[in-house]
């Protein structure tokens, strides 16, 4: 079983934090599904991934194409991802459950610290993970740098 990592965004935009995590995952050979509630959020991230790195390319695709299973990073609104991810990233308050973590190395939950509803949902997701015995970490960037503020669950 993997772990759930909650990222409380207060300084960096979601696209910047997502790109950092996705770049690290890709460098380690991890396949990732990025899950959002809306296609609009995925479009914003897709554009950022194409334009963020001037000297490198982060291979990815949006779900619905003929090569979804081949994508190292698949942007989707669906829970099921045909690219066989070992990591799932939830953005825009996409649903995640403790059962999702069972088959993963990592579950990343990125949530907007300026959005009260996103904060409430992230708290509920945290509690559900901890109640299910999932190793969960809470990361905050309130000081300007990412700091692990809490860890719970099995080690």
Query: What DSSP string describes 101-122?
Result: HHT-SEEEEEEETT-HHHHHHH
Do the beta carbons of residue 27 and residue 84 sit within 8 Å? no
Instruction: Please state the rounded mean pLDDT for residues 102-121.
Output: 95
Question: Considering the chain, what is the average pLDDT of its residues?
Answer: 93
Give the CATH number for residue 144. Answer: 3.40.50.10110
Sign, CA dihedral 64-67-68-71, equals negative
Instruction: Report the pLDDT value the prediction gives residue 36, as an integer from 0 to 100.
Output: 98
Split at pLDDT 50, 70, 90, the class of 56 is: confident
Residue numbers of the domain that contains 41: 3-152
Give residue 1's pLDDT.
75
pLDDT higher than 80, residue 154: no
> The tokens of 12 are what?
């960096």
3-state secondary structure of 23: helix
pTM of the model: 0.94
pLDDT of 153 reads 62
Beta bridge partners of 34: 75, 89
Across the range 68-75, mean pLDDT stands at: 97
- For the chain, the domain total comes to 1
> How large a percentage of the chain has pLDDT more than 90?
86
Label residue 55 by pLDDT band (50, 70, 90): low
């Amino acid at each position: 079983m993997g772990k759930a990592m909650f990222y409380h965004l207060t300084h960096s935009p979601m696209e910047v934090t997502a790109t950092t995590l996705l770049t690290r995952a890709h460098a380690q050979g991890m396949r990732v599904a990025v899950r959002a509630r809306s296609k609009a959020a995925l479009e914003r991230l897709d554009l950022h991934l194409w334009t963020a790195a001037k000297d490198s390319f982060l291979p990815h695709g949006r779900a619905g194409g003929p090569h979804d299973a081949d994508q190292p990073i698949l942007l989707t609104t669906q829970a099921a991802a045909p690219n066989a991810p070992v990591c799932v990233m939830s953005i825009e308050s996409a649903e995640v459950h403790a059962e999702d973590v069972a088959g993963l190395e990592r579950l990343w939950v990125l949530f907007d610290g300026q959005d009260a509803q996103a904060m409430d949902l992230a708290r509920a997701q945290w509690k559900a993970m901890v109640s299910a015995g999932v190793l969960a970490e809470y990361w905050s960037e309130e000081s300007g740098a990412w700091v692990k503020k809490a860890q719970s669950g099995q080690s």
